[in-house]
Amino acid sequence: MKSRLRTLRPLFMIAALIAALIAPASVSAVTVKQVALTFDDGDSELHIRQAVAIAVATQTPITFFPTGKSLRRFPNLWKAIGDAGIPIANHTVNHPNLNERYALKGSANVRAELQGFINIARTNNIPVVPYWRPPGGAWNANVMKVAKSLGLTLSLWTNTFADTAPMCKNRTIVAYNKATAGTEAKVVVLGHVNPYTAQTVKLLAAVIANYDSRGYQFVTIPEMVKGTPNTIDWAKAALAVSAPAISPTGARVPTSVPTPIDHTNTKYTFAQANGITCR
Ligand SMILES: [Zn+2]
């Protein structure tokens, strides 16, 4: 046995050397596929915490697009998330359709929605990144001009958790299928952290496993769009999961990862995931 090992060892070393010589060339020749998991609105404190908990447990970079209203409701939670390096980007203050706002009230009103988000973040010392996502994905050239004047870069999505559709219309694990349908080199998945989007966080670990198995690299939006490397501090992110919502002196809110939904169970409905009875 010993002598066999001795003869094999040099072979391993040669194999390792060859692998090391080949690796740099093969890595640069292959386009790395990237996926950014994004979570909008932030109307549910629990689901915000659970999304971060799963990101921490799997060390998966994520990006948030909360409203300014959510920043105002949970300022210390958002500060802790932002301080951990998880990007927080602009989704307006009140979530209006910006095209309609522009048509009805003009550019100043659109500007107030986007600048207002920045102001709320500044007042609460919440670090934010200069990206924006218009509510409902509604934007036009006029709205874009306002966003650009504030130095904001547009970030839409390619795939979604389908978690804004009516819950009682035969909504089953379609969320998993839609979220994992991305095959492009750059996939952006849209989900929500709202009161009735429990299925999204309950399917998140499975969605992460799916992209991982297909060789996708997980990135934040600034990383995907401009190559800005993410600097997520996972120890800080772990603390953010239970950070007091309003004031740093408030009580911590210990939160564990949600019980996952079996994504192969085609009978499990969104309503069940949210504890709702449909008639
Ligand atoms: Zn939204």
Flag whether pLDDT at 11 surpasses 70.
no
Across the chain, mean pLDDT equals 90
Q: How much distance in Å is there from the Cα of 8 to the middle of ligand 1?
A: 59
- The CATH fold assigned to 33-273 is TIM Barrel (3.20.20)
* Tens-place pLDDT, residues 158-190: 999 989 877 777 666 688 999 999 999 999 999
Under 8 Å between Cβ of 151 and 130: yes
Q: How much distance in Å is there from the Cα of 190 to the middle of ligand 1?
A: 9
Which among 190, 215, 257, 249 is positioned nearest to 36, based on CA atoms?
190
pTM: 0.88
Listed by start position, the domains of the chain span 33-273
Q: How much distance in Å is there from the Cα of 39 to the middle of ligand 1?
A: 9
Runs of H (alpha helix) within the chain: 2-29, 45-58, 68-73, 75-83, 98-105, 107-123, 141-149, 174-179, 198-213, 221-226, 234-240, 270-273
* Tens-place pLDDT, residues 217-273: 999 999 999 999 999 999 999 999 999 999 999 999 999 999 998 888 877 888 888
Mean pLDDT in residue range 86-103: 98
3-class secondary-structure state, position 217: strand
Residue 88: phi and psi, rounded to 5, are: -120, 120
Q: How much distance in Å is there from the Cα of 145 to the middle of ligand 1?
A: 20
CA 114 to chain centre: 20
Under 8 Å between Cβ of 36 and 221: yes
* Tens-place pLDDT, residues 51-94: 999 999 999 999 999 999 999 999 999 999 999 999 999 999 99
Q: Which two tokens stand for residue 14?
A: 């040669």
Under 8 Å between Cβ of 194 and 41: yes
Q: How much distance in Å is there from the Cα of 224 to the middle of ligand 1?
A: 20
Q: What is the pLDDT of residue 27?
A: 46
Mean pLDDT in residue range 275-279: 83
